[in-house]
């Protein structure tokens, strides 16, 4: 995901870049589906905010016309790296 926004340094530039928005939203929907599956399969690890992540994925897929780009940007900047770190740690301990 980091590659998609490496040339998009600000929320304003993100809002102006429809191609990047499309790529990011697609990746976030994939992440949401993966979190949903992970949450169902993992018996030992609970992901923080899993229900909110899945809910956001559903909104991306089903209510895309009401998506606020500033919310997407905030998710990218505040929540994606902690989620990635948690999942990596969880996968390492599940082995």
> How does DSSP assign the chain, residue by residue?
-HHHHTT--SHHHHHH-HHHHHHHHHHHHHHHHHHHHHHHH-SS---TTHHHHHHHHHHHHH-GGG--HHHHHHIIIIIHHHHHHHHHHHHHHH-
- pLDDT at position 90 is 79
Assign 56 a pLDDT band (cuts: 50, 70, 90). very high
Prediction pTM value: 0.85
């Amino acid at each position: 995901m980091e590659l998609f926004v490496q040339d998009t340094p600000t929320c304003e530039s993100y809002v102006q870049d429809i191609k990047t928005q499309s790529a990011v939203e697609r990746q976030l929907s994939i992440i949401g589906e993966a979190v949903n599956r992970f949450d169902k399969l993992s018996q030992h690890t609970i992901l923080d905010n899993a229900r909110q992540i899945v809910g956001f994925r559903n909104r991306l897929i089903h209510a895309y016309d009401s998506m606020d780009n500033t919310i997407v940007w905030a998710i990218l900047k505040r929540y994606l790296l902690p989620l990635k770190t948690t999942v990596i740690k969880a996968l390492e301990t599940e082995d």
